[in-house]
Amino acid sequence: MLSSLLVPMDDSEHAGNALEYALENHPNAEITVVHVVGVPSMMMGDAVGLSLEDDLEEAAEARAESVFERARDIAADRDREIETTVGVGHPARHVLDRADDYDAIVIGSHGSDWNRATRRYLVGNVAETVSKRAPVPVTIVR
């Protein structure tokens, strides 16, 4: 039986579906939702604005709050509680760095829709990378 799950989440429908799946299929597991904010670079769209912030961690937490509110609502609808954490960096790398702390990962098949073709070309598909490299079982949810 799985006792701890990591659920990477952004604002996409698939990420919400992954959390719903984890909550419904693992009723006794502790679930941690992680939202990873990309590091500031010229190619990372929204993350560029982080470079102008005085406190990167505080800014990342502020950007993650809407994702976490949605995650808490999904959990509350199922009378469950979740933990939340924010990461900064490349999403797949951050998830993989944390994977050993969990029994499994449940991840949405696709992330946010902004300029998906460009993002996939530049940074790869997060779910695909995590599923290929994770040291723990990975469930991909549509």
**Within-domain flag for 41:** yes
**Within-domain flag for 139:** no
Q: Is 90 within 8 Å of 39 (Cβ atoms)?
A: yes
* Dist. CA 44–CA 67, nearest whole Å: 19
Specify the pLDDT at position 39. Answer: 62
Q: Count the domains in the chain.
A: 1
User: pLDDT tens digits, residue range 88-105?
Assistant: 889 999 999 999 999 999
Query: Is pLDDT of 42 > 80?
Result: no
**Within-domain flag for 18:** yes
Q: Is 18 within 8 Å of 107 (Cβ atoms)?
A: yes
**Within-domain flag for 81:** yes
Q: Which domain holds residue 89?
A: 4-106
**Within-domain flag for 34:** yes
Task: Look up the CATH number of the domain holding residue 78.
Answer: 3.40.50.620
